[in-house]
Amino acid sequence: LFPAVADGLRARGAGDIPLVGGGIIPEADVAALKAAGFREIFTPGTPLETILQIFRQLAGESRRQRGLAG
């Protein structure tokens, strides 16, 4: 489903939204999803602090690209 979500966002002009995903995903699929534009894939056991750090980083990048503060 992840590639379909990415395709749908791009088709609607929202391809600049940073994409992340998670779940029980084989390592080979993780590489393919990142190649398809997903910034990060979280697998079971990923510490919550790591997830929050990535979300904060991506939010900051997105805001800077849009010329917004912070």
The DSSP code for 16 is T
- Side-chain-side CA neighbours of 27 within 13 Å: the count stands at 0
pTM value > 0.85 = no
From CA 69, how far away is CA 50, in angstroms rounded? 23
Token readout for 17 is 């939204």
Q: pLDDT per residue over 26-64, tens digit each?
A: 989 999 999 988 999 999 999 999 999 999 999 888 778
Q: Report helix, strand or coil for 41.
A: strand
Please report where in the chains the tokens 């980083």 appear, as a residue: 57
Closest CA to 5 of 37, 41, 51: 37
